[in-house]
A and B are shown apart, each in its own frame.
Chain A
């Protein structure tokens, strides 16, 4: 397993796209921290990047990479290796290299400029989001054989998580405007890792508008240790569930 992971990581790190991604993140975060007058504000701007670009790049890159290594996978499958090992090594390799570039691109500037609870939360959220979207990409790839359709599906998935889901939430909110929805909202965020990480980071910053009644309800949940652990657990579940489903599917797949 180690060998495959090593091979995948080395292969990805040689990839020009991943290098460009790292440099792009690095340039972006450094310029944001240097342009904004307070580094706390910089974290807020970075949050938007982490919530939009990181999932997009993770899901797209992972999907394309797995499609392109179809022959390599076939070769490995013909060896005396467990399919589970092959698939999980692929997943681990992809996650580690994408997390590495995220860490270099955003992690190091954040640690340099804003070494605080908010900064650390942002980093953890970004790392988890990277891995979550790699897992989702792996699931999509294993379900859809055709490359073009697969990449399309992956883009749609990203659009769903970053845009359509929120639209749906807004729709629900207005349909049930007469009911107290604050607590239900906390539960609903669990269904979208992007929303969940956004709320986690925002509540770590003291954003004044979040101090109203609604904010108080969120803070009561996400602000406590139990709430924080629960949301971390939910995010880990978002990694484990797609990964497990994709392994199951890959085990039975006719390559």
Chain B
């Protein structure tokens, strides 16, 4: 037994690595100097203070840890930290004043072609790009707070930007004031969990060509254009909040060319359009709450096999909007607060189908200035007569089994 313990201890020996301290009263005054003498597996502990390191390049497998959030200032010229080695941890720094360039994507922390990187507990203020992963694999980006004050889309970068990466975990970050809160392009097998992305100029979350990812329990609030998920497949969107994305081109979620994905248990509140689907195929939209939106669900005729079931539609101006009469999608077992049917056999399912597309929504879809007739008597009358004999609204777009009571979601 003793022998076994000894062998085990030997195996762990390399992890009893050195600690190098940086600070005014410490052996090293600058982080660059400390990193240059560090060996793989060492920990660099940085005391409180302000450090002007220009571009700090980490090309060794070390842990860089700040005590009391030391400030790393890039003087608006450089990249704060460039990570070019595997197994690096950056923990507890305050990074500020990243350089701005239209040629190079400067970032507060940039990961270059490496794996097993952890970026945790950092505060990033006034950065161009916040955290940038380029060919990063197995990276953890956790509990960072990113705040920027971007004025326009051209001169601003994204909060967390991942490009051609795999197995990234983005957990518990708070991102505001960037161009896109979180940006994914060619990123696979990754998870975005418990983040808060708000008041970004463009999208709270922007997905492009990223397959088999999940985003779970995030809050996207008050972003310029909401959340966009485009040209991807196998995306899972669970338990997120999409709130107050207001404007002509603002959507809770914009789905464009999405296949085989799942949207479940999300809350959509006060968006101009909660979900806008274009060229979306084989999507399951289940157990979501759509509340007080302009349009709860806008579906273009280019979508196929989209299933909406067991959702609650409450207080939306328009439940469903569409642009054509072709319907290849399924609506079933939803609760619609505008449903006026009856339930004679008491099975909690309405006996007559509900048609969520109103005459007025078709008119507004074709002719937006008709919004001026919102809540007018003529529109109420036209909607009522259309309900009795559908002529303009697509006949097949209906919920055959509308629920009588809202689902407990």
List the interface of chain A (C-beta within 8 A of B): 41, 44, 47-48, 51-52, 162-163, 166-167, 169-170, 173-174, 177, 181-182, 185, 188-189, 195, 198-199, 202, 206-216, 218
Contact = CB atoms under 8 A, between A and B. Distances in A.
B292 A208 contact: yes
A211 B247 contact: yes
Contact of A212 (B270, B272, B373): B272
Interface in B278-296: 292-295
B372 A211 contact: no
Interface residues of B, number: 32
Closest 10 CB pairs of A and B: A209-B294, A209-B317, A208-B294, A213-B248, A166-B378, A214-B371, A181-B369, A211-B246, A212-B248, A214-B368
B272 A211 contact: yes
A173 B294 contact: no
A193 B381 CA distance: 20
Contacts of B293: 208
B150 to A, nearest CB: 22
B267 to A, nearest CB: 15
A47 B377 CA distance: 11
A171 to B, nearest CB: 11
Given A173-B367, A210-B371, A52 B377 contact: yes
B346 interface: no
Main secondary structure of the interface of A (DSSP, over half): helix
A170 B382 CA distance: 12
B24 interface: no
Which of B246, B272, B368, B371 lies at the interface centre, i.e. has the most chain A CB atoms within 10 A of its CB? B371
7 contacts: A51-B375, A173-B370, A182-B369, A198-B374, A198-B376, A209-B374, A212-B294
A40 B385 CA distance: 28
A162 B373 CA distance: 11
Nearest to B321: A209
Given A208-B270, A211-B272, A212-B294, A163 B378 contact: yes
B133 interface: no
Contacts of A47: 375
B318 interface: yes
A208 B268 CA distance: 12
A41 to B, nearest CB: 7
